[in-house]
Amino acid sequence: MFTGLIEQIGVIAVARSVDGGRELAVTWPGLEAEGLKTGDSVNVSGACLTVERVEAERFWARVMAQTAGVTLLGEARVGQRVNLERALKVGDRLGGHFVLGHVDGIAVVNNTQTRGDSFMLQVEIPAELTKYVVSKGSICLDGVSLTVAELAGPRVTVSLVQETLKRTTLAEARVGQKMNVEVDILAKHIEALLGNSEASRDSRILELLSENK
């Protein structure tokens, strides 16, 4: 589990096809001091990968075929900059929101503009994910935890402060660019609890209200 607060921007040093998927080597400045080890989980621009081996200043990870098919890591190229975050430790501050590194779909950048000190980024997410997104709620783009500033159907706008722009790759966003998107896991759990159909949700809500009178 992660928080969506990026620790470092890495660079893909090796990207090659292997049996069952792809293999990546990602450069991480100061990696040796971070204490990363084999078996650790790392969120790489929104996708959770398991570290297979560690070398000076870089780590290797396998992108399984399923992950390559549903995330942008299937298209990862040498020289590409990626957002990196290690798994959350028990007792750490949760500054972002609960992020699993399980990509739900691909978003496309529609618009970027500067408003005062903020950088506004608008993306269009898959229509089936809109039910999990609410104004002022949380969304994860390329591994970064963000607050929804504006919402219009599948078009989601987030406001990026200067600190986020400095620490992540989102400052490089361009119209037409694709991003990994993960919606709030809590919203999906609530849907599962209440049921998938509108009728069952309404029935479950009435049941919960009755139980708590």
Confidence of residue 118 (pLDDT cuts 50, 70, 90): confident
Find how far residue 58's CA is from the centre of its chain.
Answer: 21
Q: What is the pLDDT of residues 144-196, one digit of tens each?
A: 999 999 999 999 999 999 999 999 999 999 999 999 999 999 999 888 888 76
pLDDT at 206 over 80: no
| Residue 178 vs residues 32, 61, 97, 173: alpha-carbon distances, Å | 31, 22, 22, 9
The pLDDT score that the predictor gives to residue 20 is 87
* Residue 60, SS3 per DSSP: strand
Question: Where does the pLDDT of residue 10 fall: very low under 50, low under 70, confident under 90, or very high at 90 and above?
Answer: very high
DSSP bridge pairs for 181: 105, 141
What pLDDT is stored for residue 26 in this prediction? 97
Q: Per DSSP, which regions of the chain are E strands?
A: 8-18, 21-27, 41-44, 47-55, 58-64, 81-86, 105-115, 118-124, 138-141, 144-152, 155-160, 178-183
Per-residue pLDDT, 32: 64
Could you tell me the domains of the chain? Answer: 8-86 (2.40.30.20), 105-184 (2.40.30.20)
Q: How confident is the model at residue 201 (pLDDT cuts 50, 70, 90)?
A: low
The pLDDT of residue 150 is 96
User: Could you tell me which of 76, 39, 73, 74 has the C-alpha nearest to residue 54?
Assistant: 39
Contact 173, 109 (CB under 8 A): yes
* pLDDT tens profile 11-61: 999 999 999 899 999 999 877 656 788 999 999 999 999 999 998 889 999
97-113 mean pLDDT? 96
Please determine, for residue 198, whether its predicted confidence score (pLDDT) is greater than 70: no
The Cα-based distances of 91 to 34, 37, 94, 116, 127 in angstroms read: 18, 20, 9, 36, 36
Cα angle 47, 53, 55; round to 5: 110
Mean pLDDT value across the chain: 90
Residues in the chain: 213
- Taken in order 11, 79, 97, 119, the sign of the CA dihedral is positive
Has residue 212 got a pLDDT over 80? no
More reliable by pLDDT, 84 or 210: 84
- What's the mean pLDDT in 119-141? 96
103 or 203: which leads in pLDDT:
103
pLDDT band at 85 (very low <50, low <70, confident <90, very high): very high
Give Rg (Cα) of the chain: 18
